Amino acid sequence: MVFSPAVMRAALVAAGLGLLSGLAPLAAQELPPEETGAPRVELLASGTATLAVGGAEALPLRFAETAAGPLVALSPIAARLGGQLETGALGASFTLTLGETSFLLAPGSPAVTIGTEILSLSQGPFELEGALLVPLDLLEKSYGQELGIRFEWDPAARRLAAARPPARELPVEVDLVHLQGITTVVLEFPDAPRYRVTRNGESYQVSFLGDRVLPPRPRERPEDPLVRRVVVAPDRIRLELAPGAAADHYVLRGPFRIVFDVYRADAAPPPAATTPRPALPVRRGIRTVVLDPGHGGKETGALGPSGAAEKDLTLAIARALETRLEERLGVQAVLTRQEDIDLGLDERSALANQYKADLFVSIHLNSTVRGGARGAETYFLSLQASDQRAADAAAVENYAGAAAAPPGTEEFDLQLLLWDLAQSQHLAASQRLATIIQEELNRQLELRDRGVKQAPFRVLMGAAMPAVLVELGFISNAEEERRLRDPAYREELVETLVRAIGRFKSEYDARTAEGAAR
């Protein structure tokens, strides 16, 4: 039930302070609503409970109980189980910090904020004589999910039991790569560990709370200009940096990774066009769109039954789309190539970065030995392909593009990992753009829906903005090849893409305007 802190405070004071010494539960009673129209609150009991953690001595613990369930004092729990509880500057909010995660609470509000995520509680916390009382599901969503601690409330005994999880042994893989002035260190785990990160001078330490890590197999690594060494011990991992180096760290999930970007603190950061690490997106809306006509030069791409080349048709579509986007949406549209030239996959996304593009759209045509295959499909980046067909498509494009490091080599795998980190912040926007494009192609042109997919396309990896690759049809299908060679049909494709990008732009611009106003 929703209730205000003032109502709860008045009720508990009126019930008598003697309740805090552990008297029997109160008879259920209705509290009159405040003049503000706050809903009625049913107070069932309050008093002093106990907190029991393993075999340690039990602690006194204030509690209260409403129709929505028990609430317990948070401060003694943080003191016994770990964590930092701080009061906001105006006393209107509280922050519970566990390791790298902070939970923002507001008395009376059943919502808890974790970064940009908002979780709902069974009821709002409230203050009682300086103590913050919280519902049990707050404990489960904080200590439970972050540290694996399990709670059990015994209403008869007024006892909160907290059980620490058994220690786990988690293998860790350590990857380190230096590229364009930044060293990225990735610690990958099969499950999220319980940990905290601290800095001591020129070293960073990841300390594990109740878990133990199994070191990776020994591997010879080249000397790095920014990271002297990475030391893995059962209870901690230590990064020893070179003099003058500093690091930012963040978390990625699926798989769980702790990532450190190491750079020279006394040097200017490299330009965005060559920075592979994530950067905070600029809230400015969609102004520049980079279009990438697939293939070119010696790389013809797929060929149709009558000889049409993918590289020629994608360039024709991109040129027309460039004009329509500028005329209809008022954006700057830029092509990665304006003519039939060789252009590497990495160069294409690098050009998008140099133009500080807000969107990157790579245009391709599909092909298969099964001549009857038809329809459109749209991709966004992922290290793991959504299906085998998507994996095969990416493998063909990556080989054809003559990547700087051959696919399948350790250097390529490290580059793949690094660029995946750079794209991770744009994942949701890329997925949304791909979904809108696919919807418009299905609706306007009645193409066979082959869906939105994920795959490790190299051409998308370096893009520091939302990026998609769209396959506009099967050039290997004689009927679709005939349509693709028709300028009128290509104009329909262009109009459909303009509508899709326009839809995405409207949504994106509205969100960024709202964020800038906050």
3-state SS, one letter per residue, for 247-280: EEEEEECCCEEEEEEEEECCCCCCCHHHCCCCCC
- Distance from C-alpha of 169 to C-alpha of 211, rounded to nearest angstrom: 6
pLDDT of residue 388: 62
pLDDT of residue 395: 62
- Distance from C-alpha of 179 to C-alpha of 418, rounded to nearest angstrom: 9
What are the average pLDDT values for consecutive 10-residue runs of the chain, which has 518 residues?
36 32 35 39 79 87 91 92 81 80 84 73 85 92 85 93 86 83 87 83 86 84 88 93 88 81 66 38 74 92 92 95 94 93 84 88 86 81 59 58 50 55 68 89 74 76 85 91 93 94 89 58
Continuous segment of H or E residues that includes residue 510: helix 487-517
The domain 288-517 having CATH identifier 3.40.630.40: the answer here is: yes
- Distance from C-alpha of 341 to C-alpha of 348, rounded to nearest angstrom: 12
Give backbone dihedrals phi and psi of 126, rounded to 5 degrees, phi first: -150, 160
Of 175, 178, 198, nearest in space to 252 by CA = 175
Dump the DSSP string for 141-183: IIIIHHH--EEEEETTTTEEEEEPPPP-EEE-EEEEEEETTEE
pLDDT of residue 139: 94
pLDDT of residue 486: 94
Q: At what angle do helices 310-329 and 487-517 cross, to 10 degrees?
A: 50
The domain 169-266 having CATH identifier 3.40.50.10800: the answer here is: no
- Distance from C-alpha of 310 to C-alpha of 398, rounded to nearest angstrom: 16
pTM: 0.47
pLDDT of residue 23: 34
pLDDT of residue 363: 95
pLDDT of residue 25: 37
Torsion of CA 390, 403, 400, 465, to 10 degrees: 50
- Distance from C-alpha of 102 to C-alpha of 483, rounded to nearest angstrom: 55
- Domain residue ranges in the chain: 5-82+127-163, 169-266, 288-517
**Domain 288-517 in the same topology as domain 169-266:** no
Give CA angle at 410 (404, 416), nearest 5°. Answer: 60
Give the 3-state secondary structure of residue 381. Answer: strand
Give the list of residues 6+ apart from residue 187 with CB closer than 8 angstroms, or none: 172, 173, 174, 206, 237, 257, 258, 259, 260
pLDDT of residue 313: 96
